[in-house]
Structure 1
């Protein structure tokens, strides 16, 4: 039986409950500044649901070198694109545009519905951008980033433009989530948990590198290491579930470089659980 707290994060992180408010405030400030500078296109619709919108942040350069799509987490039940805007700073400083989609949340919709919604978002973003597309996402967003690599999903012209995928603390096997209180909201069935688990997908056709904090809950470290494909996993020393994404603020971080430059390599940190 899975520990009912196995996927809880805030109670196990110092000052964990304060992170969402800090993210939201930083995101508001970033959106305000980028809008004033004319580098933000906000609330672009990609579907009929009110949450099916994305924000697009541009670099200073006239023509972006590519587009990084960041998919937010929140266990498919919380947050929106507007809570994470400032995490576009690193990639835009590297000359890339950054798109951040929202999506409908559980329990109004299912995880399968969210996957299909994100596929529409990726397809729509591809139609509004040019050049390379890289994917990243955190936690449930890491799950969704990996799901976009499934060749059975229709993501339009984005498929041929994908260059790299960096799932951060991703949920890769949803079966254990059926045994924790979270499933009261998700309502995952055995069939959906299997069909929506990246561990059951074909091996990806583009480079994938998994990042997880070495100080995260054991369940998240196990999830990060569960993919059956031959992909590297980095367990970042001392980082937990809430600060493992902070590198996205930095243009000169090796993982930002890996996403935005095909010649770059990620850090070669030893994994404590290896």
Structure 2
């Protein structure tokens, strides 16, 4: 929010990414096409992590003993599901890393706290299958939830791509019609206010905050703020604004097995001495 003497920030324009990127539908159609091709080539194993219709994840296995990365999709907690992102699997599978992609219930049918509880169960289900905490990476709303999973020691490491770590700026925007956040709930569910993972926490202490270089100043600020805040408290953080990428094309590197983003997730998924 703008302080005294500062120009007011148009939070609607800053956070409404579909309005900000006019060709977002074309990018999303590429996601869909890649997903359909991946599912046709290697149908995933469907794993229920709860009893609800959407409490299911797709597992694209790279082998029985392969480490598992968990991808948490975006959509501002109110759109999309696991089927849109199957196309991320081939790049990770090529490096011997399995990929789990859970769906979850959406606002306004449920509140954000309910969604977080579902994601916790999904991450815990992966750990129960593998015996170790997975690396968790996510986009937009999924970036927020990836950081939450790291804070709670449910992840061995987290890569948050274009995440929203302070939910308060969403309150006055049209996005909040479905989310129904008030100030107290936004503060309680913002990982900037959550405990940081540290050396005494049985889990990971690595958080990467990536964001498209062409995203709004607010998205750039959120990622840098999160990385800086946790770094001074002892977390190994990395902030990077990726040149030429917007809120949707920022996922493009995940489809390329030779990209730095994929190689980073592989590196985090296969750390020496990774334990439960």
Output one character per residue of 1:33-65: Cα deviation in whole Å (capped at 9) or x when no partner. 112xxxx202x2111221111000012x4531x
> How many angstroms apart in 1 are the aligned matches of 2:30 and 2:127?
31
- Relative to total residues, which structure has the larger helix share, 1 or 2? 2
Alignment of 1:244-255 (within 5 A): 244-255=250-261
Unpaired runs of at least 5, structure 1: 265-274
Q: How much does 1:201 deviate? A: 1.3
Counterpart among 152, 161, 171 of residue 168 in structure 1: 161
Counterpart among 6, 22, 31 of residue 30 in structure 2: 22
Unpaired runs of at least 5, structure 2: 1-7, 199-204, 232-236, 271-276
Counterpart among 234, 241, 253 of residue 235 in structure 1: 241
Q: How much does 1:263 deviate? A: 10
Counterpart among 181, 185, 189 of residue 182 in structure 2: 189
Cα gap change, 1:263 to 1:100, in 2 (>3 Å): closer
* Conserved 8 A contact 1:169-1:224: yes
SS of alignment partner, residue 54 of structure 1: strand
> How many angstroms apart in 2 are the aligned matches of 1:71 and 1:259?
14
Match of 1:271 in 2: none
* TM value normalised by structure 1: 0.85
> RMSD of the TM alignment (CA)?
2.0
SS of alignment partner, residue 212 of structure 1: strand
SS of alignment partner, residue 204 of structure 1: coil
Pairing 1:204–2:208 present: no
Q: How much does 1:10 deviate? A: 2.7
> How many angstroms apart in 1 are the aligned matches of 2:167 and 2:89?
28
Output one character per residue of 1:89-127: Cα deviation in whole Å (capped at 9) or x when no partner. 221111011000000000011111111110011111222
Count, aligned residues = 250
* Conserved 8 A contact 2:32-2:84: yes
Output one character per residue of 1:15-34: Cα deviation in whole Å (capped at 9) or x when no partner. 22222233122211211111
Match of 1:149 in 2: 150
* TM value normalised by structure 2: 0.85
Match of 1:63 in 2: 65
